[in-house]
Amino acid sequence: MKGIEPKKTFLALPLEKQKRIIETAASEFAERGFKGASLNSIVEKVGIAKGSLYQYFHDKQHLFLYVFDYGIRLAKGALKEIESKEISIFEQIRYSIFAGFRFVKKHPLIYQIYLKILFEDKVPFRKKLIGTLRFYSHKYLLPLLKRAKERGEIRPDVDLEMAAFMLDAMMEKMLQAYTLSYIDSIGLYKADDKTINRLVDAWIDILKKGLANGGID
């Protein structure tokens, strides 16, 4: 992605300070969205002067993009490993979901920012951002499913694109439920770890029945 470089002043900062700034900013964006976030509030929390932030980032948008990009890099790493595992498609899906869970547990703000931006109109670069980060997207799921079909794990008459859409929907929803419950304990679905496990198992079960060759594998 272009135009997300911070000024070199920022990169010259002690890593500890860089991190403090990014995480404070992430927390502000996560809580208030792009428009709502206040640079005033960020500098105050970090404990630097207003002008300093502008030594580090060209403007609010650049700061946001950098924080977001930082999140993207973290997220991409989290899913990489699974693709190559020699396990059935259903196991891959299960792993992916739990990789997602681990990710939002470790970096809750990043996913929150993603959720915030998803439907905020006036983030000028919204389309680009959404395209960049769909946690379990076509790009990730469809190849997985195709290979599974070739291996005979999925019935030949299954509409793979449909299946990818369905998986995406489910996985993202689960992530949302997990995140929300994790972050502010709204507990929409009483989504504690135990319940989540049960949901995932039940879902994989239905999936198998719906997609797998020969039904109950």
Partner DNA sequence: TATGAATGAGAATTCATTCAT
Partner DNA sequence: TATGAATGAATTCTCATTCAT
For DNA, the binding residues (CB under 7 A) are: 7-9, 12-13, 37-41, 48-52, 54-56, 59-61
Among 2, 84, 86, 121, binds its own copies (CB under 8 A): 121
Among 16, 86, 150, 159, binds its own copies (CB under 8 A): 159
Strand partners, 154: 212
Nearer to DNA, 50 or 155 (CB): 50
109 within 8 A of 33, measured Cβ to Cβ: no
Give min distance, CB of 69 to DNA, in A. 17
Q: Which two tokens stand for residue 162?
A: 């449909």
Selection from DNA, its own copies, none that 197 binds (CB < 5 to 8 A by kind) is none
* Residue 146 binds its own copies, judged by CB under 8 A: no
* Residue 25 binds its own copies, judged by CB under 8 A: no
* Residue 51 binds its own copies, judged by CB under 8 A: no
Give min distance, CB of 197 to its own copies, in A. 11
* Residue 11 binds its own copies, judged by CB under 8 A: no
Whole-angstrom CA distances from 189 to 97, 171, 180, 194, 199 are 17, 15, 10, 11, 10
Nearer to its own copies, 81 or 119 (CB): 119
Nearer to its own copies, 19 or 35 (CB): 35
* Residue 116 binds its own copies, judged by CB under 8 A: yes
User: Residue 199: CA atoms inside 13 Å, Cβ hemisphere, count?
Assistant: 17
* Residue 199 binds its own copies, judged by CB under 8 A: yes
Whole-angstrom CA distances from 43 to 23, 164, 188, 208 are 12, 42, 34, 51
The count of other CB atoms within 10 Å of the CB of residue 188 is 10
Q: What is the DSSP string of 149-196?
A: HHTT-B-TTS-HHHHHHHHHHHHHHHHHHHHHHHHH---TT---HHHH
Nearer to DNA, 47 or 77 (CB): 47
Terminal Cα-to-Cα distance of the chain (whole angstroms)? 43
* Residue 89 binds its own copies, judged by CB under 8 A: no
Among 17, 105, 138, 147, binds its own copies (CB under 8 A): 138
**Alpha-carbon span 32 to 42, nearest angstrom:** 12
